[in-house]
Amino acid sequence: MPLLDEIFAKYQSFLLIKESDFLQRKINNFDLNLPTIIYQIEDLKATQEKIKNCFGEAAVIRKDNYIIVEGKNFLERKRYSFGDLVEIIRRLRDKDGCPWDIKQTNMSIRHNAVEEAYELAEAVELGDDEKIKEESGDVMLQGLFHSVIAESDFRFTTNDMVSDLCKKLLERHTHVFGENKASSSQDALYFWEQAKAKEKSHFTVRDKLAAVPKTYGSVMRALKVQKIVKKTGFEFASLDDAEDKIYEEIKELKAAKGQDREKEGGDLLFSVINILRMMKIDPELALNGTIKRFTERFSYVEEMAKKSGKKLEECSLEQMEEWYQQSKKYENRQTKA
């Protein structure tokens, strides 16, 4: 076959793939270090578009009825693949790699994933696509970093991690890859939870509550527990009833003494989280938003105090409150603009 003879003469190793297979969504991850030869070209425009998406500005040679996308070492490229990312992380962990990366353990980096997840959530709130892209990559990095650390200890491999994730997605989406049919998002969620309960052997509410990670932040953990219990029917009949509970908890907190004050304070917070959940407000995101706004507003107060030639401690409460309200008005004007 002239095509193969020519390719073998030029390349020692390569990927040979028919255009019809190349264009399938089932094949999207290519080794950019190796040449990829696409043959039996029938839809040149679609093939060229996918080459651009997968390989970037790689050198492309078109001959007769086939296309060669020449591979390069990742140090010579500006476009990278999933395999490159894993290899870069592994290289950083080599004996002659990065001293900081070599030193890390799963325990030492465990909080990084939480921080990166919050940064991604903030990027989404801002609607900033560049930040969403960047922070999504940082979240992915944390998961891969954990698996590469495990690889170095011969506990499990990155391929094991990806394979288990794919298996979980296939098994839990029985309404897509199985016999169940979902006509709504509620149906889909029901089938997901049924499959998850079977997989985790969570057959009782107690099983599900015990499985809520203790490492969750208190607000996140409270929300998760409430969502689980709600499905049993143990729920306030209305928002008014939930609101009454908050006032009841405030009275109990004010009347409490000693260590009971902490207990009642926790009950109050739990009740506030509960009414937010009923209103379909994520309390974690809501509180983070409030903290962000408060920080920005009080920074304005500090700036105004400085302009007036005073330290914050020298300003009256009334003056600081006036500046704080000014910052809110300015914030509202910016939002409307």
**Fold exhibited by the domain 82-156:** Helix Hairpins (1.10.287)
CATH code linked to domain 189-283: 1.10.287.1080
Q: Per-residue pLDDT for 121 more than 70?
A: yes
- For the ranges 60-74, 152-166, 173-187, the lowest mean pLDDT is seen at 60-74
Q: Which of 153, 138, 160, 36 is nearest to 85 (CA)?
A: 138
Q: Per-residue pLDDT for 27 more than 80?
A: no
State the amino acid at position 327 in one-letter form.
Answer: S
Q: Per-residue pLDDT for 327 more than 60?
A: yes
- The residue written with tokens 């190349």 in the block is 22
Mean pLDDT value across residues 10-15: 82
Would you kindly state where each structural domain of the chain is located, as residue ranges?
A: 2-76, 82-156, 189-283, 287-336
Q: Give the HSE-up count for residue 254: Cα atoms under 13 Å, Cβ half-sphere.
A: 6
Q: Which of 183, 211, 188 is nearest to 199 (CA)?
A: 211
pLDDT of residue 303: 93
Q: Per-residue pLDDT for 335 more than 60?
A: no
Rg (CA), the chain: 28
Whether the Cβ atoms of residue 113 and residue 142 lie closer than 8 Å to each other? yes
Whether the Cβ atoms of residue 226 and residue 220 lie closer than 8 Å to each other? no
pLDDT-based confidence at residue 334 (cuts at 50, 70, 90): low
pTM above 0.85? no
- For the ranges 154-158, 269-273, 289-293, the lowest mean pLDDT is seen at 289-293
Mean pLDDT value across residues 181-185: 90
Contacts of 23 (CB under 8 A, 6+ apart): 43, 46, 47, 50
Instruction: Evaluate whether 82-156 and 189-283 have a shared fold.
Output: yes
Backbone angles phi, psi at 291, to 5 degrees: -60, -40
Backbone angles phi, psi at 243, to 5 degrees: -65, -40
Mean pLDDT value across residues 6-10: 75
pLDDT of residue 326: 92
Three-state secondary structure of 275-312: HHHHCCCCHHHHHHHHHHHHHHHHHHHHHHHHHCCCCH
> What is the C-alpha to C-alpha distance for residues 273 and 226, in angstroms, rounded to an integer?
9
- Residue 51 burial (CB count, 10 A): 18
